[in-house]
Amino acid sequence: MNDPASTSPGPARDAVLRTASQLFYREGVRAVGMELIVERSGVAKTTIYRHFPTKDALVEAFLEAEDREFWQQWDKIVASSAGEPRNALLALSAWVGGRVSRDGYRGCPQINVAAEFADAGHPARIVAHRHKAEMVTRLAALCRELDASTADLRAQQIGLLFDGAFMSGARLGGLGAKPVLDDAIERLIQGPDVWRP
C-alpha cells in the first residue's frame, strides 16, 4: 500500500491519477509508459514520482480508485432495496448489465489489469483479488437472507455471472447482458428445480 504522504490529495496528484486511469483503462497498463502520462497530464515527472514513487504505485492507486467508485455505486443500489434481497440482486444485475453496455466499455479494470501481471504478489493482483473476494462476501450476505443453506454457493455462482458479463458483455450484442443476467439470477434464486425441463 502507498504511504499516507504519497496519497495526500492535491490538483497535481488528481490530474496524474485521472490521466493515468484513462490511459490504463483504454490502452492497458503495460502499453502506457510514464513519459506518456507526463505528456498527457502536464505534470512534471518529478512531481508525479513524489506522489507515486513507482508505476506500480500508480497502478495500485488507479485500481483502488476504481474499487471505491464501484462499491459506492453498489452500496447505493443495495440500500435502495433494503430488506428485499431478491430485489437487491436483480437491481445489481440491472446495474451490471448497464455498466457493460456503456460506450467505451473495455471490461472490468480489476480483471484487465490483473491479467497483465503473472506475479500473484503484484499490487494490482492483490487489489483485484481483494475486490473479487469482497464481491462474493457481499453477494453471500444478500443470498443468506434468501436461504442460508445455499448462500455461499449462490454467491459464487452470481459472482461468476457478473464476472462473465464484465468480460464478455459486448459479445451479447443487441440482446445485452441485463436480460441474460436477470434470467440466470432468477433461476439461481428459485433453486435447482427451475433448471430442469
pLDDT by residue (tens digit) across 139-149? 999 999 998 98
CATH topology of domain 60-195: Tetracycline Repressor; domain 2 (1.10.357)
pLDDT by residue (tens digit) across 66-92? 999 999 999 999 999 988 999 999 999
- In this structure, the dihedral spanned by the alpha carbons of residues 113, 54, 21 and 68, taken in order and rounded to 10 degrees, is 80
Secondary-structure breakdown of the chain: helix, strand, coil percentages, each rounded to the nearest 5? 75, 0, 25
- 3-state SS track over 69-118: HHHHHHHHHHHCCCCCHHHHHHHHHHHHHHHCCCCCCCCCHHHHHHCCCC
- Domains of the chain, by residue range, sit at 60-195
For residues 172-195, give the mean pLDDT. Answer: 74
Among 54-63, 65-74, 96-105, 143-152, the minimum mean pLDDT is found in 96-105
CA distance 121 to 127: 10
Predicted local confidence at residue 58, as pLDDT = 95
Predicted local confidence at residue 6, as pLDDT = 42
pLDDT by residue (tens digit) across 4-49? 334 456 899 999 999 999 999 999 999 999 999 999 999 999 999 9
Among 55-69, 79-93, 96-110, 150-164, the minimum mean pLDDT is found in 96-110
Predicted local confidence at residue 106, as pLDDT = 87
CA distance 26 to 48: 20
Predicted local confidence at residue 169, as pLDDT = 66
